[in-house]
């Protein structure tokens, strides 16, 4: 389903917000988020669950449970999924759609997969025992000025910058860079992939174009823990949301499919996720 917002404009506007005004979400803003949560879906056929909860502020106006990273927010969104193969991609896709919707409303958000107390949020949100709980996000009104913690985090992770096209996108094999000219109508969906947020701003998305398809891979060293692997796949799901929602906005037609990768030798760090097959 296409989000009913200007997708490319919203992707370019979005950035992480960790410092919020000290006031609760207006009831109408909360209602709009709830409506969006009920409507969003994903093209991978996975049941993804979203949550919204309010938590009391402590005396310093800081949220309990985010290790001092988030200031001022009292409402949090969350996402949970079954422990199945495409579920982390679906979680990234659907939760990013919710984040883009909130961004379009003028609200601040930030994906949190590490700097929050998972146990306390899992019990507050009543996440089912057998589900994975990859991430939450505060949601609220961005403060005029970033906290010192947030400013330092952004500079350490180089949050305002992204890898170049030639590091991310290739043609046929993994050695020929894909230029914007070669991507043609898909230059914009790919540029929106490039602007996606990712854990630690690692930008693990890699895309390979063949004649009829764009193939998506996650770039990470073998030997990650299960939890770390899930987050890499969530990063890919976020990129797929940007790619797909932009394609829908541009009227580009295709479908997500698992396609054989026998024609190419995969570098050791690349893990195949899914392909977008161009055409009806």
Q: Binding of ligand FMN at residue 99 (CB under 6 A)?
A: no
Q: What are phi and psi of 272, to 5 degrees?
A: -65, 135
How big is the site for ligand FMN, counted in residues (CB under 6 A)?
23
Residue from 153, 192, 270, 278 touching ligand FMN (CB under 6 A): that is: 153
- Kindly state whether residue 90 participates in binding ligand FMN, applying the rule CB under 6 A: no
Residue 29 lies near ligand FMN (rule: CB under 6 A): no
Q: Candidates 174-182, 197-205, 241-249, 257-265 — which segment interacts with ligand FMN by CB under 6 A?
A: 197-205
Residue from the set 122, 190, 199, 239 that interacts with ligand FMN by CB under 6 A = 199
- If the CB atoms of residues 146 and 277 are measured against ligand FMN, the closer one turns out to be 146
> Which residues are within 8 A (CB) of 20 and not within 5 positions of it... i.e. 6 or more apart?
70, 71, 72, 73, 108, 138, 140, 141, 142, 143
Any contact of residue 239 with ligand FMN (CB under 6 A)?
no
| Minimal CB distance residue for ligand FMN | 197
* 100 interacts with ligand FMN by CB under 6 A: no
Residue number, 93 or 209, with CB nearest to ligand FMN: 93
State yes or no: residue 219 binds ligand FMN (CB under 6 A): no
Least distance CB 134 / ligand FMN (angstroms): 7
- By CB under 6 A, is residue 236 in contact with ligand FMN? no
In the list 231, 239, 273, 274, the residue contacting ligand FMN (rule: CB under 6 A) is: 231
Residues 49 and 37: their CA atoms lie apart, in Å, by 9
Of 81 and 278, CB closest to ligand FMN:
81
Q: List residues binding ligand FMN (CB under 6 A).
A: 15-16, 18, 69, 110-115, 135, 153, 157, 159, 197-201, 231, 234-235, 238
């Amino acid at each position: 389903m296409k989000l009913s917002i200007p997708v490319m404009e919203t992707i370019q506007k979005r950035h992480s917000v960790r410092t919020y005004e000290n006031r609760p979400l207006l009831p109408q803003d909360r209602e709009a988020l709830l409506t969006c949560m009920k409507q969003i879906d994903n093209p991978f056929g996975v049941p993804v669950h979203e949550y919204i909860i309010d938590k009391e502020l402590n005396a310093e106006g800081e949220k309990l449970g985010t290790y001092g990273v988030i200031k001022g927010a009292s409402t949090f969104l969350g996402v949970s999924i079954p422990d199945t193969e495409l579920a982390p991609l679906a979680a990234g896709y659907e939760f990013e759609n919710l984040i883009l919707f909130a961004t379009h409303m003028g609200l601040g958000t930030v994906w949190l997969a590490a700097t929050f107390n998972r146990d306390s949020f899992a019990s507050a949100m009543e996440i089912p025992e057998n589900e994975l709980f990859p991430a939450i996000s505060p949601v609220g009104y961005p403060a005029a000025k970033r906290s010192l913690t947030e400013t330092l985090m952004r500079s350490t992770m180089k949050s305002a910058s992204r890898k170049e096209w030639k590091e991310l996108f290739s043609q046929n094999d993994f050695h020929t860079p894909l230029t914007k000219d070669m991507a043609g109508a898909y230059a914009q969906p790919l540029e929106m992939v490039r602007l996606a947020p990712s854990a630690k701003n690692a930008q693990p998305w890699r895309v390979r174009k063949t004649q009829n398809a764009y193939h998506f891979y996650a770039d990470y060293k073998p030997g990650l823990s299960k939890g770390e692997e899930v987050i890499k796949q969530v990063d890919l799901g976020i990129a797929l949301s940007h790619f797909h929602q932009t394609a829908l906005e541009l009227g580009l037609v295709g479908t997500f499919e698992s396609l054989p990768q026998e024609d190419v030798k995969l570098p050791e760090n690349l893990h195949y996720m899914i392909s977008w097959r161009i055409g009806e």
